[in-house]
Amino acid sequence: MRLISNKKGTVFHYALLGLFASLGIAFLFFNQSVGLETFILGQWESNFAQHYTYEGEKVQLQEDINMDYYISLAINETALNGGYAQDSFEDIGCGQAFELSLMNSGEEFCFAQINQEISSQFASIVEQQSQDFKDGFEINVENNKLNFLSENGIKIIPGDASFDISEEEFACLEQGNVPFFSGEEYDQCKSCPDVDCSRYIDQFYCDLDPCKLGCVSFYTNLGGTNEYYSCGACPDEAECSNYINQYYCEVDVCSLGCKWNVNKCEDSETRINGEDIDAMNILDKAKIVSNPEIYTQNTQYTIDYSFSYDLGVYYEDYQQVAIEAMTLLGACQNTENLEECLEDERKDNWEYGSCGSDDLYQEDSRKVPFCVSSPNELQLTSLISNSHDLKYQFALDFFPTEALFVEATEVTYDSMLNAYKVYFTESESAIKYKIYITDYANLDYIGTASQFRIQRFGSELFENKEIDIIEIETDSCPIGDGHGEIGVAYDCAGEILYIYDAENLILGEDYYFAATSLNDDSESQIYGFVYI
């Protein structure tokens, strides 16, 4: 009997048998290559976590480091500008001295709202140094807390995105330069030459366009496939439909105003993503150029970045400095010997001059520069060195609010001129001087001229001469055989000489001379009399 004779349908049994047998054998030997192991629950989620979520965390971590550094920089720079941001440095109401901001002018104080100034300085630093917030950010200060919020967040580029350029090329691009090649080998790194798009070596560099020439890749369609042909500037009569794929359409290098609609590139009122890629740093841009699908794929991950920093301690510290400055002004503003007063009154944390220079007294028209260390010993941390003390740098104007004493030092009689030569000390703050003459003997009198006028019993003479400082002769002091001119004042090496006409005075009588200074509406007291 033959096996399959008269056994209709049996063949199907054997066929099934063979099928199962072959499947079993196939799985036995090739089970590793079938690919069933790739169907793991949570695989997509874990990939997402790894390449986007954790990547986002890492980006935030780096931004936190940057922000800490920027805020530290802003606090330091603001303190060194006397509490003002660099932008407002020129507009400080009290002016400048020694290239530092003056914190007072007369009785007006110009201490800053330091929190606002730090915030302004911080914004300026972020604008200059950070690539991630080119789309904009908001900064405000509330309750001494600086709050930073990015407007459009930070777009996360997958952590595993790679690009096929050498480390040297990348380092060169990062410096803002462009690599030059000898053949196809990297040769040297130079700044962007003044050339056109055709000099870019390949499609990667054309699309990356590190020299910002506005280049676009041109393709040929051979055998139904698009192949890179050349790099050139955007054609004058380009249309959105000329972009060959979604990536070029959305990047829209030629700024045609395009958007991708399912499978074609169409005109649009606004660019969709164009600004993003222009603002990206070179690393992210290189990743996207190498992996354009990142830009157009459905998965987009953006983190909302915000940052908060408590400025309370810096606010209080600056207030303390302001109080110390006012105290110092109160103590020394109306003293003639400013340096001596400052030496006695300044606190240990107050040094003369700008920060970093020697602690040497400097003065210009009673304006003195100071470098003041934080009264609360605040320190700023640094990632490149040990922490350093917070220091404020500014100048104070000790121009007196009242006229300062001047002292008549000597009086001689010049018979040739028939005049008295009265010498007295000068005052930087004086706008006028008065010379008093009396026949009343009270050499040690210290007090106002008006009081003296009242108390001189039996005296007939108490006259004065007013001298405006602009009338003082500065370069013709009559020394040696010189006599000078009656009624003229001379600047004689730190002293003022006034030649007083003796014509109306009685020869042989004793006359006493004193001097005072005038400053706006006030007059200094008489500080003793001199006589021959």
Partner 1 sequence: MYKKKSKGLFAGKKGVVDDLFDMMFIVIVIFFGVFFMYFVFTSSAATKEEASIATVNSIENEQILLQLLQLKIINEGIEYTGAEFIIYSIHNDESELLHETFSELMTDWQLTGSLIFYKGSEQKIEDQFTIAYSYNDYQDYLWSDEAASIVLENPATSLKYLVEFYGESK
Binding stretches for partner 1 (CB under 8 A): 1, 7, 10, 13, 16-17, 20-21, 23-24, 27-28, 31-32, 36-40, 42-43, 46, 49-50, 54, 57-58, 61-62, 64-66, 68-70, 129, 167, 174, 379, 381-387
Residues in the chain: 532
Indicate the residue among 96 and 130 with the shorter CB distance to partner 1.
Answer: 130
Q: Which two tokens stand for residue 134?
A: 């080119």
Indicate the residue among 158 and 484 with the shorter CB distance to partner 1.
Answer: 158
Q: How far is the CB of 332 from partner 1 (least distance, A)?
A: 36
Q: How far is the CB of 48 from partner 1 (least distance, A)?
A: 11
Q: Which two tokens stand for residue 80?
A: 């060194």
Indicate the SS3 state at residue 397. strand
Q: Which two tokens stand for residue 81?
A: 């500008």
For residue 67, CA distances in Å to 132, 167, 239, 279, 407 come to 12, 27, 42, 19, 59
Residues ≥6 apart with Cβ < 8 Å to 290: 161, 162, 163, 164, 204
Q: How far is the CB of 2 from partner 1 (least distance, A)?
A: 11
Q: Which residue has the tokens 């990547």?
A: 55
Q: How far is the CB of 43 from partner 1 (least distance, A)?
A: 7
Q: How far is the CB of 24 from partner 1 (least distance, A)?
A: 5
Indicate the residue among 16 and 431 with the shorter CB distance to partner 1.
Answer: 16
Indicate the residue among 357 and 387 with the shorter CB distance to partner 1.
Answer: 387
Can you tell me the distance from the alpha carbon of 393 to that of 209, in angstroms, rounded to the nearest whole number?
Answer: 44
Indicate the residue among 27 and 229 with the shorter CB distance to partner 1.
Answer: 27
Indicate the residue among 88 and 290 with the shorter CB distance to partner 1.
Answer: 290
Is 204:290 a contact under the CB 8 Å cutoff? yes
Closest among 296, 197, 287, 196 to 244, alpha carbons compared: 296
Degrees (nearest 5) of the Cα angle 242, 244, 246?
A: 115
Strands 258-261 and 264-267: antiparallel
With left for phi above 0 and alpha for psi between -120 and 50, is residue 198 left, alpha or beta? alpha
Indicate the residue among 174 and 410 with the shorter CB distance to partner 1.
Answer: 174
Q: How far is the CB of 38 from partner 1 (least distance, A)?
A: 8
User: What is the Cα Rg of the chain in Å?
Assistant: 42
Can you say how many angstroms the Cα of residue 447 is from the centroid of all Cα atoms in its chain? 51
Q: How far is the CB of 357 from partner 1 (least distance, A)?
A: 24
Q: How far is the CB of 397 from partner 1 (least distance, A)?
A: 36
Indicate the residue among 122 and 394 with the shorter CB distance to partner 1.
Answer: 122
